[in-house]
Amino acid sequence: MKIAKTLGQFIIEKQADFPYAKGELSRLLRDIGIAAKIVNREVNKAGLADILGEAGTINVQGEGQKKLDVYANEQFISALQHGGECCIVASEENDECIHIDSEISKDAKYIVAMDPLDGSSNIDVNVAVGTIFSIYHRKSTEGRATIDDVLQRGTEQVAAGYVIYGSSTMLVYTTGKGVNGFTLDPSIGEFCLSHPDMQIPKDGVIYSINEGYYTHFPDGVKKYIKYCQVEDAATKRPYTSRYIGSMVADLHRNLIKGGIFIYPVTASTPKGKLRLVYECNPMAFIIEQAGGKASNGYQRILELDVEQLHQRSAIFIGSENMVKKAEEMMLCFS
Ligand code: AHM
Ligand code: MG
């Protein structure tokens, strides 16, 4: 039987792409992989372990936190604390950045931004959820890292990835040299390379958007949805509508099959719903590295100014030609 390459082996092999690397990023990715396995264990037994339901706390955005959100947040932070390569963590679940001040982290040069459990409203009904992470170099050279080290543009990302806890668990990541996917083999407890050099098709036939908000969408988005629904054999329309309501799962499917995911501004979320730093930017980096495109309807996501940790953005992301078409329609009404 052929033995698959593990995530750990792959990371070490890829370190050679960065001749001056000292292994810190490799160790950081390893730490994230370890936390992902621990979270996976809990997500898998969520129905058994009395872990479902509200934790009784409210996060900074006023959303009720699920127990597993809190658990995943703690696991990732603790893995980063113990790993020693990260000086500051920004999380969807924490109002402020978390400084890591331990002795082993005193020279740490990486910043991690994360959504520890995205789509967590789906846990109760056994639908796939995910973790999203983004890694930056620390820019400041003295004292403690600051919020300005975190508020970097998406183009500055050193690495980004997601974990999907689905029918199987996968970790997909990029360090700016393509995208690779690893499936967790539960029998050996290792992520194994299963999807090397992932490429998103230039065209697709899937559009993913919460159409329930249709009347609240900008006119350009309404026009694009109508375009998706029109009969046209040459462009394989009407397209298929697929929306899980878990960004990681929706984007993972579209990455493999081709498609577009849209979360626009709406009347109730005038700046968009998804967060730029730890949802849109990492996903944009991954999708661009896989040959796709990510925009806020007018501008490349990765070039947007980042002013606040929990800043929101509209997002149009996926197959290049589909995103371009949606942008064309947004421009018609701008
Ligand atoms: P969360 O980070 O609080 O879980 O919210 C993000 C999720 C995304 O995974 C998903 O794409 C979106 O919210 C769904 O929102 P809606 O229910 O408005 O369609
Ligand atoms: Mg989220």
**Which ligand 1 atom is at minimum distance from the Cα of 121?**
4
Q: How many angstroms separate the alpha carbon of residue 139 from the centre of ligand 2?
A: 26
CA 179, 253, 61, 314 dihedral sign is: positive
Q: To test the ligand 1 pocket, which listed residue (61, 68, 129, 263) has its Cβ within 8 A of the most ligand atoms?
A: 263
Tokens, residue 222: 């309404």
Nearest ligand atom owner, CA of 254: 1
pLDDT digits (tens, 9 = 90+) for 56-80: 666 666 665 558 899 999 999 999 9
* 46 — pLDDT class (breaks 50, 70, 90): confident
Q: Does ligand 1 lie within 6 Å of residue 119's CB atom?
A: yes
**What rounded mean pLDDT belongs to the chain?**
92
Q: Does ligand 1 lie within 6 Å of residue 118's CB atom?
A: yes
CA 71 – CA 69 distance, rounded (Å): 5
Q: Does ligand 1 lie within 6 Å of residue 69's CB atom?
A: no
What pLDDT was estimated at residue 248? 98
Q: How many angstroms separate the alpha carbon of residue 71 from the centre of ligand 2?
A: 15
pLDDT digits (tens, 9 = 90+) for 253-296: 999 999 999 999 998 999 999 999 999 999 999 999 999 999 99
* Percent residues over pLDDT 70 in the chain: 93
Instruction: Report the side by side order of strands in the sheet with 206-208.
Output: 240-241, 206-208, 260-263, 315-318, 293-295
Q: Is 232 a known ligand-binding residue?
A: no
CA 234 – CA 91 distance, rounded (Å): 44
Per-residue CA distances from 61 to 93, 275, 282 (Å):
9, 11, 20
**Which ligand 1 atom is at minimum distance from the Cα of 250?**
11
Q: To test the ligand 1 pocket, which listed residue (117, 131, 254, 273) has its Cβ within 8 A of the most ligand atoms?
A: 273
Go through the chain and tell me how many residues it has.
334
ipTM of the complex: 0.96
Tokens, residue 49: 């372990």
Tokens, residue 279: 């949802």
CB count, 10 Å around CB of 180? Answer: 24
CB 259 within 8 A of CB 319: yes
CA 110 – CA 118 distance, rounded (Å): 22
**Which ligand 1 atom is at minimum distance from the Cα of 118?**
4
CA 143, 110, 31, 13 dihedral sign is: negative
Q: Does ligand 1 lie within 6 Å of residue 246's CB atom?
A: yes
E strand or H helix that includes residue 55: strand 54-58
Average pLDDT over residues 39-48: 84
